[in-house]
Amino acid sequence: MLDERTNTAEPLVGDKVERQGCRRRLPPEERRAAVLTAALEVFVEMGFERATLQDVADRAGVTKGALYHYFDSKNELYLEVIRDRIAAQVQASQALVAAAEPSKSREELLRQLLEAMWHDMQQPGIMELIKLLMAELPKFPECGRAFFEELVVPARRPTRSALERGESPSERDDQLIDIVVAVLPTMLLGVGLSQGMFKGVDPIDFRSDQVGKVVIDILLQGALAALER
C-alpha cells in the first residue's frame, strides 16, 4: 500500500458509510465539481505533498470513497484540478484563432490572444493555481511532463498560428517563433504575479485592466520587432 501523501494510489478501505449531517448528497457532476474546488483550496493552502485525499474529502463534504469513485490517486486529482481550470482557456484560444477572418492581421490576432490570456489570469483561483504549479510541479516530474504535454503544448499552438499569419514557410524563422511563443505567456504571467505580490504595499493602485493594456502593448511591439529582425 502506497502512502497517500506521496503517490496516493492507496486502495479504498473502510470508507463505507457517510456520516449523516456531515456529508452533502449532491448529483454526480455537482459532487465532482465540489471535489475539484475543494482540492484546489486544499492544495493551495497545504501544498501538494502535505495535502491528503482525506483533507480534500473533508473540505468537499464527501467521503474519501467518493473521491476514489472519480480519481484513482492524489496525482490524478491534482492533474484534473489543473485541467479543469486551464483546459477550457486553451480551447477558447484555439477557437479564437480558428474563427479569425482571413483579413485579420497577425498583430490584431496576437493582441486578441494576449488580451484573452490576461483576462483568464484575473479569474478567481487562477493565480493561486499558477503559484501552486510553480511550487509543486518541479518536485513531481511525472506530473510536470503530463501538464506540459496536455496543456502547455496545445496552448502554444494558437499563438504560433497567429505569428505565422501572412508568412510563407520560406519566410519564417521557426526557431525564433518558438522562442517568442514560449516567452510571451511567461512574461505576461510575471506581471500578473508581481501585481499580486505587492498588492496592498505598492502606493500606486494599479487597475488590472490598465496594467493589462500597457503590458500587452509592450509585449506585442517587442514580439513583432523580434520577428522582423
Per-residue model confidence as pLDDT tens digits over 54-68: 999 999 988 888 888
pLDDT interval class at 26 (50, 70, 90): low
Distance (Å, whole) CA 68 – CA 73: 7
**Each residue of 52-111: pLDDT tens digit?**
999 999 999 888 888 888 888 888 898 888 888 888 889 999 999 999 998 999 999 999
Locate 209 and state its grid cell.
485592466
Pair 222, 180: CB distance under 8 Å:
no
Per DSSP, 113 falls in state: H
Say which range, 19-33, 88-102, 121-135, 187-201, has the weakest mean pLDDT: 19-33
- Work out the end-to-end distance of the chain between its first and last CA atoms, rounded to an integer number of angstroms: 58
This prediction has a pTM of 0.76
| Amino acid, res. 159 | T
pLDDT reading at 200 higher than 60: yes
Q: Which residue has the higher pLDDT, 215 or 33?
A: 215
**Each residue of 172-193: pLDDT tens digit?**
888 999 999 999 999 999 998 8
The number of CA neighbours under 13 Å toward the Cβ of 42 is: 24
